[in-house]
Amino acid sequence: MKIIRSQMPTSKGSPEWFTGDVYVDSIAVEGSGMNAAVVHFTPAARTAWHRHPLGQTIYILEGEGRVQREGGHVELVRAGDVVFFEPGENHWHGAAPNRFMAHVAMLRLPENGPGTDWGILVTDEEYLGRPT
């Protein structure tokens, strides 16, 4: 057994990558080939459009959120739901308009290059699309 004591403080999400207030707690072990974090979104907060070369899985811990892949509908997600974004699939995720949401985000890291390719911020019109 190996216990790794937390040494990283909670960080506030960059306004280049997030709309609204988002807080990130990294939980991945350095050198594991994975990136994982618990991400807390305040109501209506969300990621920018982004993609992951090896895909991404998010597990909704609490609250209610929204997810969307490029060209798809805005989907409602709740605590206990798991969402897998395919490798290279452009997408965003965040909290519902009147609810907090927290999820665990997990992705494998490529041998070369970044694990996330960030795009433009999600517009209010995109965010407010009718959830299904």
DSSP code for 49: S
Return the ∠ at Cα 18 (arms to 44 and 27), rounded to 5°.
Answer: 105
Going from the N-terminus, what domains does the chain have, and what CATH number goes with each?
A: 11-111 (2.60.120.10)
The string of pLDDT tens digits covering residues 107-121 is 999 988 889 999 999
What is the chain's pLDDT, residue by residue, as a tens digit (132 residues)?
Answer: 877 777 788 999 999 999 999 999 998 766 778 899 999 999 999 999 999 999 999 999 999 999 999 999 999 999 999 999 999 999 999 999 999 999 999 999 998 888 999 999 999 999 998 665
DSSP code for 115: S
The model carries a pTM of 0.90
Cα 121 to Cα 28, 64, 65, 79: the distances in Å are 26, 20, 17, 25
